[in-house]
Amino acid sequence: MPHALDQLKQHTVVVADTGDFNTMRAFAPRDATTNPSLIVKALAKPEYAELVGQARAQHPGLSGEALIDRLLVRFGCEILSIIPGRVSTEVDARLSFDTEATVAKARELIALYRDQGVDPKRVLIKIAATWEGIRAAERLEREGIRCNLTLLFGFAQAVACADAGVTLISPFVGRIYDWTKKRTGLEYSGADDPGVQSVQRIFNYYKRFGYQTEVMGASFRNTGQILALAGCDLLTISPDLLQQLASSDQQVSLQLDAQAAQQLAIERVRFDEKQFRFGMNEDEMASDKLAEGIRLFVADARKLDAIVAA
């Protein structure tokens, strides 16, 4: 019998949640996703540390921000030379509440990829799923720039993203699990996991109403969460969990079924700005985790600033 990772790939597109090139070669994902946190971790390894020096040497006199953009694109280009699919490159989280600046930064990143001969269809611009970020993604998608809306915890975010026509969303399973476990003191597993349930609800809603937006489960804490979402459009998985799946002979079966979802009795909803903000305010978990996630990404963006400055 194939190991669990190969079985999972029969139902779901597997994405590598890492900036480590060697991991991608080892597990052969179709896509890869990066963020400042992952780039900071990669640059701590000797084999990647020289990339900062190379970027500085190739672009003398550039500001720190411009140099970081080129470093992110350099990582993206290296990743695209390994995988057959797409790479997600993140807009600085400090722009999460600025629609115009997010649009401008996304255009700059795509222009840098084009300069390297990369087809923009192979790049997803990763943006925090704030109201401002969703509006930026809506404009970018109309320009042909594909977007991955991240830090997604609430149903209002998911619906607003789909109505904006974004290419892909990344609901964070593990962080929902963490928040709920801390609040209740209970353990959760499989279909009872609140993070798993959140992705199931979004997936079923999208398929029921024919949205083209892809659902990519993210931020997993264990392989049980991953296998409970077999059948999701995509799952982005960290290297240690990829290794656990590759070492397991557990049988993997389809858990999310797009055809079955089309028959479900689900009410359609819409969110304008006022409804979105109220819905997020009512969802304590989503509000807490979105704010915390932006703070964490900003902290790592500042670490990247310091690495480049040094």
CA angle (255 as vertex; 164, 283 as ends), nearest 5: 45
The whole model's pTM is what? 0.93
How many Å from the N-terminal Cα to the C-terminal Cα in the chain? 50
Q: Both tokens of residue 121?
A: 């269809």
Whether the predicted pLDDT of 50 surpasses 90: no
Residue-wise pLDDT for 251-289, tens only, equals 999 999 999 999 999 999 999 999 999 999 999 999 999
110 near 71, Cβ under 8 Å? no
Residue-wise pLDDT for 171-217, tens only, equals 999 999 999 999 999 999 988 999 999 999 999 999 999 999 999 99
Q: Where are the alpha helices (DSSP H) in 83-222?
A: 99-115, 131-142, 155-163, 173-184, 194-208
Q: What is the pLDDT of residue 106?
A: 98
In the chain, where are the structural domains located? 4-309
CA angle (154 as vertex; 148, 160 as ends), nearest 5: 55
Whether the predicted pLDDT of 13 surpasses 90: yes
Residue, of 282 and 78, whose pLDDT is higher: 282
Q: Both tokens of residue 78?
A: 């290296």
The residues carrying an active-site annotation are: 126
Q: Which CATH number fits domain 4-309: 3.30.70.2190, 3.50.50.60, 3.30.420.40, 3.20.20.70?
A: 3.20.20.70
Whether the predicted pLDDT of 39 surpasses 80: no
3 near 246, Cβ under 8 Å? yes
Which phi and psi angles does 103 have, rounded to 5°?
-60, -45
Those residues whose C-beta lies under 8 Å from the C-beta of residue 178, and which sit 6 or more positions away, are: 221
Q: Both tokens of residue 246?
A: 């590759």
Whether the predicted pLDDT of 61 surpasses 90: no
CA–CA distance, 303 with 239 (Å, rounded to integer)? 22
Average model confidence (pLDDT) across the chain: 92
Residue-wise pLDDT for 86-140, tens only, equals 999 999 999 999 999 999 999 999 999 999 999 999 999 999 999 999 999 999 9
- Comparing CA positions, the residue from 115, 123, 60, 69 lying closest to residue 92 is 69
